[in-house]
Amino acid sequence: AEKAKVTVHYSMADGSTVTVQSKEGENLLDIAIENDLDIDGFGACEGTLACSTCHLIFQQPIYDQLEEPTDEELDMLDLAFGLTDTSRLGCQVCVTKALDGLTVKVPEGVADARDV
């Protein structure tokens, strides 16, 4: 069966918004990469839960609809720059038809050990 299309708005750190089309089941890291979104250092570990550069911030009603994060995700998320109550790692969140039209916010920075 044809997978449902899901529209995603990425609210970029510079204040612009980039709107892209994705398919149900794709994760928010892959969607950003497929669409060549220019996010500094994004997805450094390619979705293997070994970095926190794919950190995205969700709106509360959307966040509440997402599947619970795993302990592994929460551990890594703790290291993310600018962590919020509605933060998730983009590589761990797959879009569904119910989320169609969601907006995710790209944080203004990524945690980088070289800056510490």
**Residues near ligand FES (CB under 6 A):** 29, 43-45, 47, 49-54, 76, 89, 91
Cα-trace Rg, the chain: 13
Distances (CA, A) of 39 to 3, 44, 58, 109: 27, 11, 17, 9
Q: Which is nearer to ligand FES, 43 or 107 (CB)?
A: 43
Q: Measured from the CB of residue 1, what is the shortest distance to ligand FES in angstroms?
A: 28
Maximal CA-CA distance, the chain = 49
Q: How far apart are CA 94 and CA 10, in angstroms?
A: 15
Q: Which is nearer to ligand FES, 91 or 111 (CB)?
A: 91
Task: Return the bridge partners of 56, or none.
Answer: 88
Q: Measured from the CB of residue 25, what is the shortest distance to ligand FES in angstroms?
A: 17
Q: Measured from the CB of residue 2, what is the shortest distance to ligand FES in angstroms?
A: 28
Q: Which is nearer to ligand FES, 39 or 89 (CB)?
A: 89
- Amino acid occupying residue 17: T
Q: Measured from the CB of residue 55, what is the shortest distance to ligand FES in angstroms?
A: 8
